[in-house]
Structure 1
Amino acid sequence: MKRFMDEDFLLHSEFAEDLYHEYAENLPILDYHTHIPVRDIAENRVYHNLTEVLVDNPVARRLMRANGVAERFITGGEAPARERFQYFAEALAKAAGNPVYTWVHLVLKRIFDCHYVLSGETADDVWSVCSEKFADGTMTVRSLLEQGNVAAVFTADRPEDNLKWHRQLKEQGYPVQVLPVFHPDAALDIANLEWGNYMLYDLGQTADVEISTMNEVREALAKRIAYFDSMGCRTADHAFPRIIYREAEEYELDDIVGRVINSKGAPTQEEIEKYQTAVLRFLGKKYAERGWVMQLHYGILRDMNSKMAAGLGSGAGFDCISSSNDGKGLASLLDLLSREEALPKMIVSSMNPSDQIVIGSILGAFQTEDAGHLQLGPSWWINQTPLGIRAQIGYMASLGIIGTAVGFSTDARSALFWPRHEYYRRIFCDALASLVDEGLYPPDKDALGRLIKDVCYENVKSYFHI
């Protein structure tokens, strides 16, 4: 029986231990998908207590709700930070097998040098030990990135953003590369009641385009892509419940855009699909022209608890997995872009683990002469258990070439994300060692070491031109 989260946890053989400690442990971190506010990095935000860094995120909120904690202790309000942390600690103690349990203890060990096992009984001790780290004001975003050996972090930015914080970081010569990511979800979400106002007054005015036709939608997006590109952007991210492919004539698209943007009628489901297909087709071409990576992740239903989301806002922990995608929409989109010789580099992920094998098989049908051009993306947080990560690694290996993969990203909301890369790297090294144990790969540490360095660092660096 292993000791709780010792130096070799998640590593089940001496060979796995050697692979991790010799090749993976000290690699720099490049995280290509986070939601860390770039302003926090530019202004070097100071964190003040454990509640701020461990409790104020959607994953912790879901955990506490599952334990029956009153909402005033989950989302804050007037409840004291220490009291909220107590409720979190009590819930965490019951969460055996939940990845949050491991992540929290990794943060406590690696960032705070705190070796208590967090529970309701130890919460006061943990709070006291960690408060010493907060007391001198050095627990900042930049110090945390430096501590974690983070070489590059990608943020989430809307097309209308002026990217002033990214510009400030460049002017300061900040050594960590902080790169913007183009997130055009609001422009794609034509079913949203606020879509018309967004297109007219946010995207349209920023791009200096008066939008009333499909071509003007393209023009506005193209202008913002050019601006993001000038600011060092290398990738764009898109989220959907599922990907549907439905072609349309230009006059149909003009009618859909003109009618909806002028509040003359909501789009039908078929019209939503026609519009989104047209936008994705255009965006894919633009990304291919500039060498950007197109990230697609689906299987997501946003803010499904409408009663709670109405009071707490979007992103408060009410997203869900959608039912499995049949894959035809994704395959049809890739086929179109391939025929038009405009297939960008692409990372495709799903919140639904049953989609992994479907995605992997589709990507294998459209690979190009550029090794690893299309990537099966990492499982998102709801699948980030050892079982979920091992399954995803297995699909990558069985449906493609694991050595061309771009490893792991966290979808993190704060600068305390980097211990989760350790979590992934341990599981990855153990999975490779298992192949050796089963006689499916020779015990060649040099070859496997190169593969580990490629997947966890070098491939990400070259794929995104960092």
Structure 2
Amino acid sequence: MNSFITEDFLLQTDFAKRLYHNFAKELPIIDYHNHLSPEDIATNRQFDNCSQVWLAGDHYKWRAMRALGINEKFITGDASDEEKFHKWAGAVPYTLRNPLYHWTHLELERYFGITELLTEKNAAATYEKTNDLLSQSSHSTLGLLQQQNVELLCTTDDPIDSLEHHKSIKEQRLSPKVLPTFRPDKAFGVGNAISYNAYLSQLKNVTGNSINDYDALLVALENRVDYFHQNGCRLADYGLEQIYHSTTADFNLDTLFQEVRNGKQLSVPQVQYFAGKVMLELSKMYHKRGWAQQFHVGAIRNNNKRLLTQLGPDTGFDSIGDFSHAVTISGFLNELDSTNQLAKTIIYNLNPSDNEMIATMVGNFNDGTIRGKVQYGAAWWFLDQKDGMEKQLNTLSSLGVLSTFVGMLTDSRSFLSFPRHEYFRRILCNLLGNDVVNGELPADEQWLGKIVSDICYHNAVNYFEFDK
């Protein structure tokens, strides 16, 4: 059976088709948030087979396979790569209406020219064809990125990272350009004294300075911020249940620090107070250097304790949380804004019930100094599917200014995930095209085309200022 992925996939009107094909399709990709391996890029890794590049680490697929009753042996277990591929191929027809169904066939067609719908019946032939292509230079990590016209991407890196692979990529003058992102979550993760003290030992080793008090912690972190900046970093990122901020608690930060250093377990309010204060100081460092900061909020992680023990974190047992955000986000941003130290900020929510709150909250802190300075971020994780993207775009359009939006990202660990940018671009163009047909927007192709191209590419170029 031939694929349903035609050249006009998701484009329901002639106007939408013109917007996509004339203004979005050929634009380069700036993927400003992902979890790709910089080592794989620096070494131009050649994957041995399709399972390695497509299934390994993909908890979206793992969740679907478990739901279909597939044994863990064929997901993260000791089955062969070929056996795992066959199990995934057999699962795909049953994922219809899940974004995995669209993504799977987009990726097979864009990277491998395969237009047949994937099933168990054609799994062997598909596996053979993809593996043959993956052995060629056109399908190395760099080849895969270049196929999708990726111009620049930002990986996600811990403050203690040496950035050796980023340096290697730059020295080799590889394309695309690859820059680090500062992800300091562990630097304020005082909820577990044992792991936190182990982390501080590593931080001490890379800075060469003792970290014996709270002020020394901040000095060490600024040392790493400078190091990242020197290596092209212009972005920080956080993955949090909530943005932490308190106006009622009043703990002594150095006392809390010393208690953790002595192995004491802090209370939840103390953990959150400490984290919020460190985040505020880091934000001031970002502002000073012209960085942007990203906050991904609302995930409740590692829900299945039995399988967490067996398989570890990031294996598909996280979900949408129902945390309260408005007061803490307002307080956090306001404290920075009050001293004119609020960096460019993007906030992503995981719970769709927070869409309107986040979209209106960010608008409180746009002060006319930077276009779209504080942004409502792209549909993220469980929401980065057609319905979620449309809701994010509609919310931003209704309560903010869509034309300032810095667009989509993959947030992925897979080198085959970049057609998600195409997916987003088609959805955006279809949304605007429908508005034109419905008489809600003027049929000004050039102007709407400019808005589309700005959202898909130019806004990100101007906002992040990676070359500064």
Indicate conservation of the 8 Å contact 1:195/1:261, yes or no.
Answer: no
Deviations 1:48-84 (A, max 9, x none): 222112221111111111111111110132x121211
- Deviating more after overlay: 284-293 vs 54-63: 54-63
Measured in 2, the distance between the counterparts of 1:350 and 1:362 equals: 12
Say if 2:257 is the partner of 1:257: yes
Say if 2:400 is the partner of 1:400: yes
The equivalent residue for 2:184 is 184
SS in 1 for 2:347: strand
The equivalent residue for 1:339 is 338
- Give the TM-score normalised by the residue count of structure 1: 0.96
The equivalent residue for 1:293 is 292
Measured in 1, the distance between the counterparts of 2:28 and 2:175 equals: 13
Measured in 1, the distance between the counterparts of 2:436 and 2:397 equals: 14
Say if 2:364 is the partner of 1:358: no
- Deviating more after overlay: 304-313 vs 177-186: 304-313
The equivalent residue for 1:60 is 61
Measured in 2, the distance between the counterparts of 1:169 and 1:200 equals: 28
Say if 2:28 is the partner of 1:25: no
**What's the offset of the Cα at 1:137?**
5.7
Say if 2:84 is the partner of 1:81: no
The equivalent residue for 1:415 is 415
SS in 2 for 1:442: coil
**What's the offset of the Cα at 1:196?**
3.0
Indicate conservation of the 8 Å contact 1:199/1:211, yes or no.
Answer: no
- Deviating more after overlay: 63-72 vs 243-252: 243-252
- Check 1:193–1:58 CA distance in 2 against 1; reply closer, same or farther (3 A cut): farther
Aligned residue identity for 1:341: N
Measured in 1, the distance between the counterparts of 2:190 and 2:323 equals: 23
Measured in 2, the distance between the counterparts of 1:386 and 1:249 equals: 41
**What's the offset of the Cα at 1:158?**
0.5
Aligned length: 463
The equivalent residue for 1:5 is 5
Deviations 1:127-171 (A, max 9, x none): 233233134464210011111110001011110111111111111
The equivalent residue for 2:347 is 348
- Deviating more after overlay: 189-198 vs 276-285: 189-198
Aligned residue identity for 2:320: I
Counterpart mapping for 1:149-164 below 5 A = 149-164=149-164
Indicate conservation of the 8 Å contact 1:37/1:413, yes or no.
Answer: yes
Say if 2:235 is the partner of 1:238: no
Indicate conservation of the 8 Å contact 1:285/1:344, yes or no.
Answer: yes
Counterpart mapping for 1:187-206 below 5 A = 187-206=187-206
Indicate conservation of the 8 Å contact 2:239/2:297, yes or no.
Answer: yes
**What's the offset of the Cα at 1:247?**
4.6
Say if 2:131 is the partner of 1:131: yes
Q: What residue ranges of structure 2 are gaps of 5+ in the alignment?
A: none
**What's the offset of the Cα at 1:356?**
1.6
The equivalent residue for 2:461 is 461
**What's the offset of the Cα at 1:195?**
3.7
Aligned residue identity for 2:194: E
Say if 2:164 is the partner of 1:169: no
Indicate conservation of the 8 Å contact 1:349/1:356, yes or no.
Answer: no
The equivalent residue for 1:328 is 327
Indicate conservation of the 8 Å contact 2:251/2:270, yes or no.
Answer: no
Deviations 1:191-226 (A, max 9, x none): 134343234311122122322322122111111001
Measured in 2, the distance between the counterparts of 1:294 and 1:269 equals: 25
SS in 1 for 2:139: coil
Indicate conservation of the 8 Å contact 1:334/1:343, yes or no.
Answer: yes
Measured in 1, the distance between the counterparts of 2:428 and 2:260 equals: 47
Indicate conservation of the 8 Å contact 2:287/2:342, yes or no.
Answer: yes
Say if 2:375 is the partner of 1:375: yes
- Deviating more after overlay: 51-60 vs 18-27: 51-60
Measured in 1, the distance between the counterparts of 2:113 and 2:194 equals: 47
The equivalent residue for 2:143 is 143
Measured in 2, the distance between the counterparts of 1:59 and 1:3 equals: 22
Aligned residue identity for 1:277: G
Indicate conservation of the 8 Å contact 1:190/1:272, yes or no.
Answer: yes
SS in 1 for 2:296: strand
Indicate conservation of the 8 Å contact 1:243/1:325, yes or no.
Answer: no
- Deviating more after overlay: 176-185 vs 205-214: 205-214
**What's the offset of the Cα at 1:420?**
0.8
SS in 2 for 1:93: helix
Deviations 1:337-368 (A, max 9, x none): 11011010011001111112111110011112
SS in 2 for 1:375: strand
SS in 2 for 1:368: coil
The equivalent residue for 2:307 is 308
SS in 2 for 1:152: strand
- Deviating more after overlay: 340-349 vs 246-255: 246-255
Indicate conservation of the 8 Å contact 2:46/2:135, yes or no.
Answer: no
Measured in 1, the distance between the counterparts of 2:196 and 2:279 equals: 19
**What's the offset of the Cα at 1:44?**
0.6
Measured in 1, the distance between the counterparts of 2:331 and 2:138 equals: 51
